[in-house]
C-alpha cells in the first residue's frame, strides 16, 4: 500500500521496534512542539495522517504564525546596526584605493527575491545616509502584504539531472572594476633571456617536462609559444632575489598548471618522474618490442618514489 505524501510540518515515522506513523510539529518563539500519531492506534497510515494534520491545524489556529511584516522585523543575531535589514557596507573603491561606504536598506518583497536601496555616506553624510536607509526599510516593510503567499512555505522541488541539462545558464560579465593587488615583481627580461638561451642550445621551443612543441602541434599559430617556470617559487623569494637562468624552465601551459596545482616543488618532481618513466618505456618498446624484465610499469603512477 502506497504511503501518502505529507504536507509541510509532518513527517513519516517508521521504527519497527517502537512506532510506525506520523509526527506533526511546529515551532513558536524558538520552542518546538510535536505530537506523534501511530498507524496502530488509528488503523491505517491514511487515518493517522488525517489525525496529524488536524492536530497541527488546530495548534496553528491557537498560536498562529507571525505575518510577513512581523517576521521581517525580527532581530537577527548578526545585525550590527541595531535596525533589522539596515547595514553599512563598502560599495566600491575609488581609483586611489580608498573605499566608498554606503548605508543599505534590504528586504524581501517576495519569495526568493531581495531588494536593496543604497545611500552614499559621501553624498548624504553618515547620519543622514543611515536615516534614509532606515526610512526606506520601514516604507518597504509597510508596503508588504501581511499575509504569507500560498507558496511561501512550499518545499522546493528536488533538482534533477534533466533540469541541469536543459536549464538556461548565463551570467552578467564585462563590468569594469578597480582592484588593488599586492604582488611580487617579475622581471620579463629574464624570461626572454631564458627563451633565447634555450633556442640557442636546442634550436626549438618545447616543454622540458613532457616535450610538447607548440609549433609542431599548431603550426604558425604556435610559433614562439612557451611558458617560463620559476623553480624557486616567487612566494618564497626575498626582496632583491637574484634569479639566474638555471632557476628557470621552459614548459608548456598544461604542465605549468599542473605544477602550480599544489606544492610547485613536489609537483615538479612528480611530473618529471612520470614523463621520464613514460619516455623510458617508449624507448624500451621501440628497441625490444616488449618491456624488459624488471622495467618500471607506468600504467599506474599513483605512487612516486619518495612518497610517504
Using CA atoms, how far apart are residues 239 and 231, in angstroms rounded to an integer?
17
The pLDDT of residue 145: 75
Kindly write down the DSSP assignment for every residue of 221-259, as one continuous string. GGTT--EEEESS-GGGPPTT----GGGEEEE-HHHHHHH
Domain ranges for the chain: 10-64, 66-145+169-182, 188-288
Question: Are 208 and 250 contacting, i.e. CB atoms less than 8 angstroms apart?
Answer: yes
- Chain segment 137-155, per-residue pLDDT in tens: 888 888 877 666 655 555 5
Give the pLDDT band (50/70/90) at residue 250.
very high
Is 50 exceeded by the pLDDT of residue 22? yes
Q: What is the pLDDT of residue 178?
A: 77
CB 222 within 8 A of CB 214: yes
Q: Which pLDDT band, with edges at 50, 70 and 90, does 295 fall under?
A: very low
Calculate mean pLDDT across residues 74-81.
70
Q: Return the C-alpha torsion angle 48, 54, 56, 60, nearest 10.
A: 180
Cell numbers at 194, concatenated: 631564458
pLDDT tens digits, one per residue of 256-267: 999 999 899 999
* Mean pLDDT to the nearest integer, 63-82: 71
Angstrom CA distances, 255 to 106, 210, 226, 252, stand at 47, 8, 11, 6
What number is the average pLDDT over the span 283-300? Answer: 49
| Percent of the chain residues past pLDDT 90, beyond the cut | 34
Amino acid at each position: 500500500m502506497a504511503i501518502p505524501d505529507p504536507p509541510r510540518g509532518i513527517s513519516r515515522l517508521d521504527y519497527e521496534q517502537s512506532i510506525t506513523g506520523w509526527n506533526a510539529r511546529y515551532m513558536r518563539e524558538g520552542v518546538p512542539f510535536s505530537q506523534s500519531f501511530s498507524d496502530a492506534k488509528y488503523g491505517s497510515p491514511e487515518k493517522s495522517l488525517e489525525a496529524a494534520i488536524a492536530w497541527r491545524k488546530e495548534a496553528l489556529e491557537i498560536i498562529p504564525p507571525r505575518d510577513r511584516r512581523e517576521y521581517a522585523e525580527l532581530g537577527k543575531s548578526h545585525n550590527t546596526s541595531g535596525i533589522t535589514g539596515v547595514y553599512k557596507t563598502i560599495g566600491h573603491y575609488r581609483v586611489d584605493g580608498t573605499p566608498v561606504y554606503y548605508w543599505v536598506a534590504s528586504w524581501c518583497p517576495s519569495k526568493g527575491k531581495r531588494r536593496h536601496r543604497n545611500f552614499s555616506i559621501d553624498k548624504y553624510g553618515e547620519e543622514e545616509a543611515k536615516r534614509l536607509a532606515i526610512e526606506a526599510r520601514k516604507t518597504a516593510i509597510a508596503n508588504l502584504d501581511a499575509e504569507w503567499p500560498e507558496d511561501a512555505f512550499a518545499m522546493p522541488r528536488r533538482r534533477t539531472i534533466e533540469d541541469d541539462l536543459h536549464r538556461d545558464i548565463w551570467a552578467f560579465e564585462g563590468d569594469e572594476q578597480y582592484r588593488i593587488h599586492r604582488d611580487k615583481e617579475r622581471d620579463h627580461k629574464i624570461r626572454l633571456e631564458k627563451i633565447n638561451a634555450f633556442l640557442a642550445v636546442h634550436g626549438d621551443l618545447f616543454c622540458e617536462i613532457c616535450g610538447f612543441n607548440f609549433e609542431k602541434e599548431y603550426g604558425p599559430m604556435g610559433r614562439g609559444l612557451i611558458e617560463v617556470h620559476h623553480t624557486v617559487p616567487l612566494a618564497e623569494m626575498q626582496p632583491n632575489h637574484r634569479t639566474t637562468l638555471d632557476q628557470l624552465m621552459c614548459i608548456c601551459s598544461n604542465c605549468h598548471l599542473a605544477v602550480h596545482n599544489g606544492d610547485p616543488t613536489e609537483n615538479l618532481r612528480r611530473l618529471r618522474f612520470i614523463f621520464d618513466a613514460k619516455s623510458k618505456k617508449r624507448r624500451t618498446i621501440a628497441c625490444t618490442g616488449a618491456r624488459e624484465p624488471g622495467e618500471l610499469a607506468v600504467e599506474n603512477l599513483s605512487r612516486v618514489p619518495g612518497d610517504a
